[in-house]
């Protein structure tokens, strides 16, 4: 008795398309100063911490200073390309 039991295993591939929302990295441009001491309110130099307006991440004054420094330092670099044409007179 030729009895072939072909079991076609239904290949059920779960194609789970997960929606990945990639948020662009926050540039931390707007940093809002926060003060612990009421007497220091208004004085940016005496701010105890800075909160990013975009992502609400808290930075220390040093970090905020570095961020603002790097943000203002983004100047287009002018690279001078020196094309050296060497003519070798070969006799």
Is position 52 an interface residue for Zn ion (rule: CB under 5 A)? yes
Which among 8-16, 22-30, 66-74, 76-84 is the span making contact with Zn ion, rule CB under 5 A?
22-30
Q: Which of 32, 34, 41, 54 binds Zn ion (CB under 5 A)?
A: 54
Q: Which of 41, 43, 55, 66 binds Zn ion (CB under 5 A)?
A: 55
Q: Which residues, 6 or more positions from 36, have their beta carbon under 8 angstroms from its beta carbon? A: 48
> Closest approach of Cβ 75 to Zn ion, in Å?
22
> Closest approach of Cβ 55 to Zn ion, in Å?
4
Write out 11-61 in H/E/C secondary structure: CCCCCCCCCCCCCCCCCCCCEEEECCCHHHCCCHHHCCEEEECCCCCEECH
- ∠ CA 63-44-70, nearest 5°, is 35
Q: Measured from the CB atom, is 52 or 64 closer to Zn ion?
A: 52
Tell me which residues touch Zn ion (CB under 5 A).
26, 28, 52, 54-55
């Amino acid at each position: 008795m030729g009895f072939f039991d072909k079991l076609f295993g239904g290949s059920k591939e779960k194609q789970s398309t997960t929606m990945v929302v990639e948020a662009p990295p926050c540039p931390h441009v707007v940093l809002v100063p926060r003060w612990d001491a009421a007497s220091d309110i208004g004085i940016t130099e005496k701010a105890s911490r800075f909160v990013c307006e975009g992502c609400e991440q808290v930075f220390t004054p040093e970090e905020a200073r570095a961020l603002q420094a790097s943000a203002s330092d983004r100047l287009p670099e002018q690279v001078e390309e020196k094309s050296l044409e060497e003519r070798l007179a070969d006799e």
